[in-house]
Amino acid sequence: MSRLSIRTRLTAWYAGALAVGLGGLAATSYWAVHRSLHAAVDAGLRGRLEGTRQFIAQQLPGHSVRQITDEFQDHLVLALGPGFSLIQVCDSTGTVLYQADLFREAGVPPPLPDALPAMPQYEEARVAGRQLRMVTTRLDVEGRRFGVRLATLTDDIELALDSLRGPVFLLAPIVLAFAWIGGYWISALALRPVDTMTGAVQQITSRSLAQRLAVPSTGDELQRLAETLNSMLDRLDAAFRQIGRFTADASHELRTPVTLIRTSAELALRKTRTLDEYRQTLTDIALDAERMSMLVEDLLTLARADQDMGALPLAPIDLSALLRTTAPEAEQRAHSCGLEFSLCLPAMPLIVFGDTSVLQRLMTILTDNACKYTPPPGRIEWCVYSSDDTATIDVRDTGIGVAPDERARIFERFYRTDAARARDSGGTGLGLSIAHSIVTQHRGSIVAEGTGARGSVFRVTLPVAARRIHPLGVSPA
Ligand code: ADP
């Protein structure tokens, strides 16, 4: 992991990119100037090569080698232009027709024509401390072959190129130093809001989750970051409040049976009681203890579900078969509450991904509720059907129903409607929360609906793993 701060890394990237850009630009400009200067020199050399060829062609007829040499001495400047004398010419026997002083003094060997290629060879050379651009070639004139070397002094050009190189090397470190300082300053400026945000987030603790970050209206990444952090704080705040509420509710619900147990025991111990009185007290205590253990069991179920969300091992199961085997127990429960029970199932298997015992628990919760909140005479009905990719289980009853504005809230932990409290059904207010968590673990949904007349429908929808039923093929139980 890099230990450098974003600020340093940004600056380094910026300076690096600038160095590469500047280097590339300087190298390209230098190369372009170098090329154009040498192209101009080469063009001059080409012209003079042609001049030399014409000069030899004019002088050749009727002149001996000696005479041609003299002509070179006398008319070279006229033939090739003023200020131009760097030339070396020899014939195929190696006789030097003309040789500039510079070449002679430096001992440059004559260009023997037979050893030269037909195409002119351009090169740079340093001769007697002078910088030259040379062309060497052979010329065939009137059936005779000559070797020619022409050169131009390029000291001035090299001087000009040097003066171009100098500032680049000198200025580059200065420009880069300014770029580094500027980049560091700009990135510090750009990252300052992030520092401010970090400071503000550090101030937020579990006790001050209501605090929010100031959102800059810049429409950029920083605004998005502040909004994202704020929405995360919203979720954390809501979760913390929910946990707090849950703990308070759980303590409150546990306090009632504990108080009742304590009071019963203390009253019984105040004086000597008859055997029947002791039996009654112990029965009361056992009932309260049972209620307490049910509550603790429910709390544990929810705590585990919260912890292992999504960890339930799901396998393909036939929902119709599952409900068919669970129905007799539900029917018995309904009858014990003085209610009728009916079941409608598809004729064919309906495969969903699920956990058999957990889905049985779901059906028990919904049926127990239907029993608790349906005064006899009444009816409970399980109905299963499928549509497209979902399997639906309806648990209907003809009971007290749930007011529309309470239908969403009854799935909250410890939430009980006033009508339910009035019935004192002995519920803990956690049954539907557990049902909701079971359905969520099965990637499904659960809603409460009205039936139009009396009663309610709890509709569980689960995704189908494989569809093997005729949509209308239902078989009554
Ligand atoms: P409880 O232990 O109170 O039954 P639940 O979580 O199972 O807790 O249900 C929450 C509330 O939803 C109940 O208190 C009741 O008000 C309402 N409720 C649940 N099932 C039914 C039903 N079949 N008919 C009417 N109200 C219901």
- Beta-strand (E) ranges in 213-349? 315-318, 339-346
The CA distance from 97 to 264, in Å, is: 139
461 lines ligand 1 (CB under 6 A): no
As annotated, the residues of the chain forming the CATH 3.30.565.10 domain(s) are 315-476
366 lines ligand 1 (CB under 6 A): no
Instruction: For the domain made up of 6-160, give the CATH fold.
Output: Beta-Lactamase (3.30.450)
Give the per-residue pLDDT at 465.
84
Ligand 1 atom having least distance to the Cα of 458: 23
Give the per-residue pLDDT at 438.
94
As annotated, the residues of the chain forming the CATH 1.10.287.130 domain(s) are 221-306
CATH class of 221-306: mainly alpha
Write out residues in the chain with pLDDT < 50, as ranges: 1, 468-477
What are the phi and psi torsion angles at 213 (to 5°)?
-80, 150
As annotated, the residues of the chain forming the CATH 3.30.450.20 domain(s) are 6-160
Type and span of the H or E element at 278: helix 275-307
Task: Mark out the alpha helices in 117-209 (DSSP H runs).
Answer: 155-203
Give the per-residue pLDDT at 461.
96
Give the per-residue pLDDT at 469.
44
Give the per-residue pLDDT at 80.
62
At 323 the three-state DSSP class reads: helix
Distance 425 CA to ligand 1 centre (A): 9
Contact 127, 136 (CB under 8 A): no
Instruction: For the domain made up of 315-476, give the CATH fold.
Output: Heat Shock Protein 90 (3.30.565)
367 lines ligand 1 (CB under 6 A): no
Distance 417 CA to ligand 1 centre (A): 7
